[in-house]
């Protein structure tokens, strides 16, 4: 059994912002760009990757405790910011990158605009990439509950505490209150706290092509 790998969580000044940064492990650097749900904590996936890699997980602008600048308006702006973040942390380039959902869109933008920055790239359920059939599921047209249901395998969501699930469910059914970031983060934390559930993107268990590209960042061990 592998020994536990320690990680740090701190605020660093980089790319013109105060950035919430989680980092752990040793070896070749691996930059992980999170999904639209943010970073609920040091996930099991990060722990396993950190057994052989220096895993670097910044909260993107506007997520967690990272400053939200007015000028960032989309994935292209986020991609530019990430390149500056890599520069200011003095990370060696080209660097390996994993992008999850929204982070996958940002990583793909970087690969197009600054290809010399990236060594190898893994896109996990990347937004912004049209599937061969159907359309990408649009989180912004649905509530928080629907998004979570479409992004995770049913075994992952069945064990969520009823009151917590109801809180997001109510917000996702056209109530006056939209699902807050805390609601969604709490649900994600509960999902990732279930080690016995298979972590599969919804596209792996559904024939609906609209599910393709809707996944978050999942535990590769399952």
The least confident of 61-65, 125-129, 198-202 is 198-202
pLDDT at 108: 94
Q: For the segment 207-222, what is each residue's pLDDT rounded down to a tens digit?
A: 332 333 333 333 333 3
Q: Which two tokens stand for residue 6?
A: 């320690």
Q: What would the DSSP string read from start to end of the chain?
A: -PPP--EEEEEEEETTEEEEEEEE--SEEEEEE-BTTB--SS-HHHHHHTTTEEEEEEPPTTSTTS---TT--SHHHHHHHHHHHHHHTT--SSEEEEEETHHHHHHHHHHHH-GGGEEEEEEES-TT---SSS----GGGS-HHHHHHHHS-HHHHTTS-HHHHHHHHHHTTT-SSPPPHHHHHHHHHHHHT-TTS----GGGT---GGGTT------TT-
Longest dimension (CA), the chain: 49
CA gap 8, 3 in Å, rounded: 16
Q: For the segment 45-96, what is each residue's pLDDT rounded down to a tens digit?
A: 999 999 999 999 999 999 999 999 999 988 899 999 999 999 999 999 999 9
Q: For the segment 138-149, what is each residue's pLDDT rounded down to a tens digit?
A: 666 665 566 666
**Domain regions of the chain by residue span:** 1-129, 134-222
- Highest CATH level, class, for 1-129: alpha beta
Q: pLDDT band at 5, cuts 50/70/90?
A: confident
Look at residues 101, 107, 126, 123 and name the one whose alpha carbon lies nearest to residue 37. Answer: 101
Q: Read off φ and ψ for residue 38, nearest 5 degrees.
A: 85, -160
Q: For the segment 37-46, what is each residue's pLDDT rounded down to a tens digit?
A: 899 899 999 9
**Looking at per-residue confidence, does 122 or 182 come out higher?**
122
Q: pLDDT band at 197, cuts 50/70/90?
A: very low
Per the CB < 8 A criterion, the answer to whether 86 and 12 are in contact is no
List Cβ<8 Å contacts ≥24 apart for 190-193. 190/159, 190/160, 190/161, 190/164, 191/148, 191/152, 191/156, 191/157, 191/160, 192/40, 192/41, 192/43, 192/44, 192/219
pLDDT above 70 as % of the chain: 59
């Amino acid at each position: 059994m592998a020994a536990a790998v320690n990680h740090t969580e701190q605020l660093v000044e980089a790319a013109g912002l105060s950035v919430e940064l989680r980092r752990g492990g040793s070896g070749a650097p691996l930059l992980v760009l999170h999904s639209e749900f943010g970073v609920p904590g040091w996930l099991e996936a990060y722990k396993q990757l950190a057994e052989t890699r220096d895993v670097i997980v910044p909260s993107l602008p506007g997520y967690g405790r990272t400053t939200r600048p007015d000028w960032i308006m989309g994935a292209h702006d986020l991609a530019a910011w990430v390149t500056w973040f890599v520069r200011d942390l003095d990370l060696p380039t080209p660097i390996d990158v994993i992008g999850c959902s929204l982070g996958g869109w940002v990583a793909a933008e970087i690969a197009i605009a600054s290809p010399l920055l990236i060594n190898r790239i893994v896109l996990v359920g990347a937004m912004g990439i049209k599937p061969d059939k159907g359309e990408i599921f649009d989180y912004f047209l649905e509530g928080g509950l629907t998004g979570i249901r479409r992004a995770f395998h049913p075994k992952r969501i069945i064990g969520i505490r009823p009151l917590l699930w109801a809180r997001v469910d109510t917000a996702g059914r056209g109530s006056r209150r939209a699902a807050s970031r805390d609601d969604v983060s709490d649900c994600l934390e509960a999902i990732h706290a279930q080690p016995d559930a298979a972590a599969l993107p919804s596209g792996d268990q559904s024939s609906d092509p609209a599910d393709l590209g809707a996944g978050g960042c999942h535990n590769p061990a399952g």
